[in-house]
Amino acid sequence: MDDPVSLLKNDHAVLLGQLALLEQQVENKETRLALLQALMRDCRVHFRREQVLFEGLRTALGSGGQSLDSLVQEHRELEEKIVKLMEAMQGTCQHTIPDPEEIHTLIGQFQTHIRHEETVVFVLAGTRLTLAERQNIANQMLMR
């Protein structure tokens, strides 16, 4: 069976790999822009998939599921940061390169976010959802 947590962990590995590449490409503007665009695309798919898990978990946890809202808020903030970095690079100055410090901050926020999901949310998903619920969530994720 497809496991929603495994699917999301695979996404995390891909996203962390993209972030590591992004950090290495300090000088190459075109590569950085292409990496940011790929990151944005993959993030949006990942966040939509995660939304399916969060909805399933909210139902299973009842009022205990409210802390998931802060993760959804972080998804918005991460997306906004990526968009800002892309806009900076597509600005009137052709040689604009995002401040390495901003890239570094983005990576740190992503890592913290992913760690929280893997150590808390995914553990809850593994213990509080039935096999049938997990299968159903995985099926819905793959359609997003």
By CB under 5 A, name the binding residues for Fe ion: 50, 117
Q: Decide whether 82 or 117 has the Cβ nearer to Fe ion.
A: 117
Residue 7 or 35 with smaller CB distance to Fe ion:
7
How far, in Å, CA of 46 to CA of 32, rounded?
A: 20
In angstroms, the CA 18 to CA 11 distance is 11
Q: Shortest CA distance to 39 belongs to which of 122, 107, 132, 134?
A: 107
Rounded to 5°, angle at Cα 53 from 141 and 144: 20
For the CB of residue 50, give the shortest distance to Fe ion in the complex, in Å: 5
- Smallest distance from the beta carbon of 34 to Fe ion, in angstroms? 22
Classify burial at 49, counting beta carbons within 10 Å of its beta carbon; exposed 0-12, middle 13-18, buried 19 or more: buried
**Is 8 or 103 the residue whose CB approaches Fe ion more closely?**
8
Q: How far is the CB of 114 from Fe ion (least distance, A)?
A: 6
Minimum Å gap between C-beta 38 and Fe ion is 16
Of the pair 117, 137, the CB lying nearest Fe ion is at 117
